[in-house]
Structure 1
Amino acid sequence: MAACGLDFGTSNTTLGRVAGGRPELLPLEGHHRTVPSAIFFAPGREPVIGRAAMEAYVEGVPGRLMRSLKSVLGTGLIEETTPLGRERLRFRDVIARYLAAVKARAESAADTEFDTVVHGRPVHFVDGDPEGDRRAEETLREIAASVGFRQVSFQYEPIAAALDYEQGVSQEEIALIADIGGGTSDFSIVRLSPERHARAERAEDILANDGVRIGGTDFDRMLSLGTVMPLMGLGSPMRRGDLAVPNAYFHDLATWSSINRLYNPKTLREIDETRRDAARPELIDRLYGVVEAERGHGLALAVEGAKIAASDTGAAEIDLTFVERGLTASVDRASLDAQTGTLASRIAERVGRCLAQAGLGPDRIDALFLTGGSTGLPHVRAGLTACLPRARVVEGDTFGSVGIGLTVEAARRAG
């Protein structure tokens, strides 16, 4: 029996343990220490997770892909069911199957059973809703217990990232930890030092803690709505009156956690009726084709890939030839900023709130520690660094810092 740290993220998951006195993340998919937070259900087969789930979907294997599972925590969707072949599963049961598979892989890699877990959690599962936050944590606690963890506790994800960063700190400093992930953006201001790292109780060193439910999947959604969905009919007129085509379908199709809601005969009938009354039915034909073929996740993957490519190289093409021959959409740094700039600004605003909570000016922050995949978005990074112009920018392990910190905390609590 052993303790572990589990970072169940919107986009990726890690699980770590302490071995030989040092924290390590266990391989969860081949040699990879991270596994995408995705699960694929194929009729008559055991579900597969991670990269294998994504590959099965991309290769056209009949079945249902579910991704961004964490996004439903704290929402009414958690108790809703989704059809998976001949059965219907609640979303909480889907999460349980995913986490059970992660736990089993980690135990196989470590050759031990984990009965104690420190689970990472965002500062806010749900913005402005303390009761929703409480329900989300309790749901995650129940799910963890259902897959075999007998002792379950939680740590804020930015605090966990601070514990990872602190392992390399040589003198006392005040750091702002920015964990910008797939579903949330979380911040902590923490006093760190080699001496403090050895203490079991660190509450007095946490000077501020805040977050907002904005992450990489929200950038995907806004980029999709601004760039791809107009090619499917978003904003196009109906034949009669001043009405535009109903937009609910496009918002669901652009939102990772809502895509599967479209895959039912009723929605197809509604889209078909809309097509008959649309001024540009050829656009609605594209929408109908994507929903009928259940290729919404393929669309989202293409948008996500273009977001990353445009961030890295300045421009990208979204290949939509699986929707219609020759169909593409262009994305460059300027259009990415235009479609998602409001999100980046809202994330940066939280830095000011954290400083006010801590009673500190920007010049008192010695280091800005960045972790999480969405810190790779140039306008997000620029917004954060502009808030703390004198702070030293420190790059964390993009997908591993939180998991390492949770592992440190798990060993400490078990200790």
Structure 2
Amino acid sequence: MGYCGLDFGTSNTTLGVVDGNAPRLIALEGAETTLPSAIFFGFGAGRAEVGRAAIDAYARGIDGRLMRSLKSVLGTDLIDQDTLLDRNRIGFRAVLQRLLSEIRARAEEAAGHPLDAVVHGRPVHFVDGDDAADRRAEDALAEIARAIGFRHVSFQFEPIAAALDYEQRVEHEEVALIADIGGGTSDFSIVRLGPDRRRAADRAADILANDGIRVGGTDFDRLLSLKSAMPHLGYQSPMKRPGLLAPNGYFTDLSTWSKINFLYTPKVMAEIRQVQRESARPELIARLHHVLEEHLGHRLAMTVERGKIGLSDQAAFDLPLGWIEPGLAAGFARPAFEAATDELCRSIAGMIRRCLADAGLGPERIDAVFLTGGSTLLPNVRRAILDELPESRVVEGDKFGSVGLGLTIEAMLRYN
């Protein structure tokens, strides 16, 4: 039986197989083992581009539609809706199926054999506080996996998978907190690990706590966009009528990866023109109109994302927006970014305290903190985690590969 571990992430995707007894990640795009979770439908073209090629096609101005952060629709009513592609409509289930089918095909070609069993990664909660929506999200992902050809489909929590990857380097028994801060969710597990436990088929007794929240890198993108870029497009700008501000909804959606495409409709464009007529700062709303009319929303989101990454190791960062209007730029400093995202970090810290309470452990009982997921590179996110566990050893995981490798280890245990 050909089996694999599939980490379909909000921002990036990896897929692993086993060579001998060792897991390895498949190169899904050239030599790269990470594939951006993006798909581009070129209008008039017969095929879709995925990954970096999708982002490149969009950046080159090819007429079409870019979709990113598709994992975010799981567990919401968007999964059963459709969106306009040129003159045709396509459902989000079909979009996810196209993307994951291409990933499976590339993996089979690289592995040199069929893959008919998969352990899918999943966040602890697709949707916070809604068990029914959580089940629907997993069911939808399982249905899509079977539709693209996997005969055996099972799931593992992403932080547990990261723990399995970390356990391969553990030399003695310890208790670790696994922090997986990805594009869409923050997931935590407290797990008992050790070299004598690695081959056990049932690890339920070793999982001391497991929880998460729907807070991730895209939320930091959204808040950075609202604070830095969107005021230049009219966010919170005054209307002619005293006491009124421009409607927030357009700017919030434009700052949210999964909602950008919903703004590209004749109805929304007509509404924006009306807002411009009634605005006390119509020149700002004109920029918003330009971004939507030219379908530049994802370019703006990618510019903001690069700014967020820049603030990981720089005190300040300028967002170049000259492609909206010559000379336009939005400067932003790390203290302002951290102030804007403080509530997100406090939510992450609160989840760690909740996991410790669930495990019945004090912070001093955690031997190691294993950090994975791209958003753990943000300084304020790291502080939020490590301040809760000041005595623990910090272990840096593969920021984009640990979960995929752990899922592959789980696949080997389940299907070998």
Return the TM-score normalized by structure 2: 0.99
Q: How far is the alpha carbon of 1:241 from its aligned partner?
A: 3.0
Is 204-213 or 326-335 further displaced after alignment? 326-335
Match of residue 57 from structure 1: 58
Secondary structure in 2 matching 1:313: coil
Tell me, in whole angstroms, the C-alpha distance in 2 between the residues paired with 1:240 and 1:372. 46
Match of residue 337 from structure 2: 336
Check conservation: 2:173, 2:192, Cα contact below 8 A: yes
Secondary structure in 2 matching 1:197: coil
Secondary structure in 1 matching 2:192: strand
Letter in 2 for 1:332: A
Q: How far is the alpha carbon of 1:335 from its aligned partner?
A: 1.4
Q: What whole-Å deviation, never above 9, does each CA across 1:320-374 have from its counterpart, x for those lacking one?
A: 0111110000122111101111111111111000000000000000000000000
Q: How far is the alpha carbon of 1:85 from its aligned partner?
A: 2.2
Match of residue 126 from structure 1: 127
Is 121-130 or 324-333 further displaced after alignment? 324-333
Equivalence map 1:16-415=2 (5 Å): 16-45=16-45, 46-415=47-416
Is 281-290 or 83-92 further displaced after alignment? 83-92
Tell me, in whole angstroms, the C-alpha distance in 1 between the residues paired with 2:281 and 2:246. 10
Check conservation: 2:371, 2:395, Cα contact below 8 A: yes
Tell me, in whole angstroms, the C-alpha distance in 2 between the residues paired with 1:105 and 1:2. 14
Is 239-248 or 50-59 further displaced after alignment? 239-248
Match of residue 9 from structure 2: 9
Tell me, in whole angstroms, the C-alpha distance in 2 between the residues paired with 1:364 and 1:358. 10
Check conservation: 2:161, 2:405, Cα contact below 8 A: yes
Q: How far is the alpha carbon of 1:67 from its aligned partner?
A: 0.2
Q: How far is the alpha carbon of 1:204 from its aligned partner?
A: 0.2
Letter in 2 for 1:104: A
Tell me, in whole angstroms, the C-alpha distance in 2 between the residues paired with 1:24 and 1:135. 30
Letter in 2 for 1:147: I
Q: How far is the alpha carbon of 1:86 from its aligned partner?
A: 2.6
Secondary structure in 1 matching 2:403: helix
Tell me, in whole angstroms, the C-alpha distance in 1 between the residues paired with 2:83 and 2:403. 31
Tell me, in whole angstroms, the C-alpha distance in 2 between the residues paired with 1:239 and 1:87. 39
Secondary structure in 2 matching 1:89: strand
Q: Indicate the percent of aligned positions where both proteins have the same amino acid.
A: 61
Tell me, in whole angstroms, the C-alpha distance in 2 between the residues paired with 1:312 and 1:51. 24
Tell me, in whole angstroms, the C-alpha distance in 1 between the residues paired with 2:383 and 2:301. 25
Letter in 2 for 1:38: A
Secondary structure in 1 matching 2:311: helix
Tell me, in whole angstroms, the C-alpha distance in 1 between the residues paired with 2:125 and 2:173. 28
Tell me, in whole angstroms, the C-alpha distance in 2 between the residues paired with 1:333 and 1:114. 45
Letter in 2 for 1:253: L
Q: How far is the alpha carbon of 1:243 from its aligned partner?
A: 1.1
Tell me, in whole angstroms, the C-alpha distance in 2 between the residues paired with 1:250 and 1:225. 7
Secondary structure in 1 matching 2:312: helix
Letter in 1 for 2:139: E
Letter in 2 for 1:151: H
Letter in 2 for 1:189: I
Structure 1: 4+ residue segments shifted above 3 A: none
Is 399-408 or 223-232 further displaced after alignment? 223-232
Q: How far is the alpha carbon of 1:120 from its aligned partner?
A: 0.1
Q: How far is the alpha carbon of 1:314 from its aligned partner?
A: 2.0
Tell me, in whole angstroms, the C-alpha distance in 2 between the residues paired with 1:335 and 1:311. 13
Tell me, in whole angstroms, the C-alpha distance in 2 between the residues paired with 1:227 and 1:43. 32
Tell me, in whole angstroms, the C-alpha distance in 1 between the residues paired with 2:413 and 2:36. 27
Secondary structure in 1 matching 2:313: helix
Q: How far is the alpha carbon of 1:197 from its aligned partner?
A: 0.8
Letter in 2 for 1:361: G
Q: What whole-Å deviation, never above 9, does each CA across 1:17-43 have from its counterpart, x for those lacking one?
A: 111110000000000001000000002
Tell me, in whole angstroms, the C-alpha distance in 1 between the residues paired with 2:43 and 2:295. 15
When the two chains are superposed, the root-mean-square deviation of aligned CA atoms in Å is 0.7
Letter in 2 for 1:252: D
Letter in 2 for 1:409: E
Tell me, in whole angstroms, the C-alpha distance in 2 between the residues paired with 1:332 and 1:134. 40
Q: How far is the alpha carbon of 1:397 from its aligned partner?
A: 0.2
Q: How far is the alpha carbon of 1:44 from its aligned partner?
A: 2.5
Secondary structure in 1 matching 2:89: strand
Q: What whole-Å deviation, never above 9, does each CA across 1:8-63 have from its counterpart, x for those lacking one?
A: 00000000011111000000000000100000000222000000000111111110
Return the TM-score normalized by structure 1: 0.99
Letter in 2 for 1:257: S
Check conservation: 2:199, 2:413, Cα contact below 8 A: no
Check conservation: 2:369, 2:392, Cα contact below 8 A: yes
Secondary structure in 2 matching 1:114: coil
Tell me, in whole angstroms, the C-alpha distance in 1 between the residues paired with 2:79 and 2:283. 36
Tell me, in whole angstroms, the C-alpha distance in 1 between the residues paired with 2:332 and 2:195. 45
Secondary structure in 2 matching 1:398: coil
